[in-house]
Amino acid sequence: MVLASGNWCSELFDGESRLFYGDLTMAINTLDAFSMAWGENGGRFDWQPAQYRQGWATIGDVPPSVEQFNALHYLQDEKANFLYRQLAGVVAKAGNQYTETAAASLLLDSIQKIIRDSAASDKRAGVMKVLNVLDSVDTLSALSAAQGKALNDAIAALNNRSDFCPSGQIGLFAMDYAPAGWLKANGAAVSRTLYANLFAAIGTRFGAGDGYSTFNLPDLRGEFPRFWDDGRGVDSGRGLGTWQSDAIRNIAGNAATYTQDDIRPNGVLGISNKATRGIVWENNWQNFGIQAQLDFDASRVVPTANENRPRNIALLACIKI
């Protein structure tokens, strides 16, 4: 640095700060100037915070010393240098180098690059990558608020669609009415036109209605479903949607009807009105027999009711229209 009496002047020319006195000119690169502080290698007056806030009035009428000037310029340069380090850090994070020729647009480009490349897991404001499309495969981006609303609206619309389930699907419900888009599976005759999708799905499998304008729904009231055999051979000979009456496995038992020994029935058979009878031609104990009435009662073997059923719970069966 050159010190001389007189008035120093400065100007910014082609990106360089020029200090000149008379014919003497000194050029300092603008960006380099940000990385250094005035008087950092020279003597500096130790300003106290209260003095710094008061300004030149602190020294009264005495001209400020070189050390005081150094200290003031040093503090100002330190502030500018702090801001420069922040800007240079942004540029470096983007993988760029802050140069004199690229300074004009490099900062903006670097900030935009950081925003584009930042992962969505970085929750700091201003550095999160945001997408405004729903069909992106990017796993390191956040969704914009507008597209978040669009996604929520789309989900709500799907939940309210009447065709979310295919026509003809059977559903079980814990209320006594059919929900929207469903009909009770009660065997009713309904319009082939009004419920065209359902008619296309099940046709007249459960009844032809009036034969031309209606068709019947399946009547599942009080019934148990049995899944269609479809060629397996467990319940062969039945078509899809056909009805089957109740049945049980055969229950059997046996007992002798007349014997000299005691009658010992088993299974569902029992005895009543048991008595002894003698042989008419010789009335002695060796010719005595036992006679009894046989009874058949399945409740001796299984629980009974007026129908055959497993344990169950009653639900409302409906069909999707």
- Model pLDDT for residues 85-112, shown as the tens digit of each residue: 776 776 676 666 666 555 556 666 666 6
Find out whether 31 and 103 touch, Cβ atoms under 8 Å: yes
Query: 315 near 174, Cβ under 8 Å?
Result: yes
The model's pTM is 0.45
SS3 state of residue 131: strand
DSSP 301: T
Contact predicate 225/234, CB 8 Å: no
pLDDT score for 14: 47
Three-state DSSP state, 146: helix
pLDDT truncated to tens, each residue of the chain (321 aa)?
333 444 444 444 444 555 444 554 455 555 566 667 767 777 777 777 777 777 777 777 677 777 877 777 777 777 777 777 776 776 676 666 666 555 556 666 666 666 555 555 555 555 566 666 677 776 666 777 787 788 888 887 777 666 678 999 999 999 999 999 999 999 999 999 999 999 999 999 999 999 999 999 999 999 999 889 999 998 888 899 898 888 777 776 666 565 555 666 666 676 666 555 555 445 455 555 555 566 777 777 777 787 777 888 999 999 999
Rounded CA-CA distance 207/222 in Å is 18
**H or E element, residue 272:** strand 269-278
3-state secondary structure of 71: helix
Measuring CA to CA, which residue among 33, 39, 38, 37 is closest to residue 15?
33
